[in-house]
Amino acid sequence: MELVREKEFVNQYHYDARNLEWEKEHGEPKTNFEVTFQLVKKDQEKNETVIVAVLQFMIVRDEFVISGVISQMVTVKDRIINEPSEFSQVEVERLAEPLLDMVKRMTYEVTEIALDRPGINLEFNTK
């Protein structure tokens, strides 16, 4: 699968210090990742499809919760995509990889500043 990617776009990124007292009353947040795809254009002549990959995430750690939405426009060359379900798990992971990298980079920088110590390195298991 040949991909031509636009720059990643940070729609939202939010850092919250944990408030354990509030969580006792309202419930503890849960880590969650969801990758979705929006069809932008199918070009039969060029045999390519333009999609937007969207990562919505919430990551819960001992001291903080980060959440947000990051997206990226991607042209899939030599393939017409009719439904996102046509992507294999390996292809979904490949499409999401730059979005996860952006979450890692931003989290490292923000936690370094917010916690006044070396930043937090996130590790994602995509297998």
Kindly state whether residue 87 falls inside one of the protein's structural domains: yes
Kindly state whether residue 83 falls inside one of the protein's structural domains: yes
Kindly state whether residue 123 falls inside one of the protein's structural domains: no
Kindly state whether residue 38 falls inside one of the protein's structural domains: yes
Kindly state whether residue 73 falls inside one of the protein's structural domains: yes
* Run of H or E including 75: strand 64-77
pLDDT, one tens digit per residue, over 17-53 is 999 999 999 999 999 999 999 999 999 999 999 999 9
CA–CA separation, 117 and 96 (whole Å): 29
The number of angstroms, rounded, from the C-alpha of 89 to the middle of its chain's C-alpha atoms is 15
Question: Residue 13: beta bridge partners?
Answer: 68
Kindly state whether residue 122 falls inside one of the protein's structural domains: no
Kindly state whether residue 70 falls inside one of the protein's structural domains: yes
pLDDT, one tens digit per residue, over 75-110 is 999 999 999 999 999 999 999 999 999 999 999 999
Number of domains in the chain: 1
Residue 93 sits in a domain whose CATH number is 3.10.420.10
Q: Is the pTM of this model over 0.85?
A: yes
Distances (CA, A) of 96 to 27, 40, 89, 99: 29, 17, 11, 5
Domain that holds residue 102: 2-115
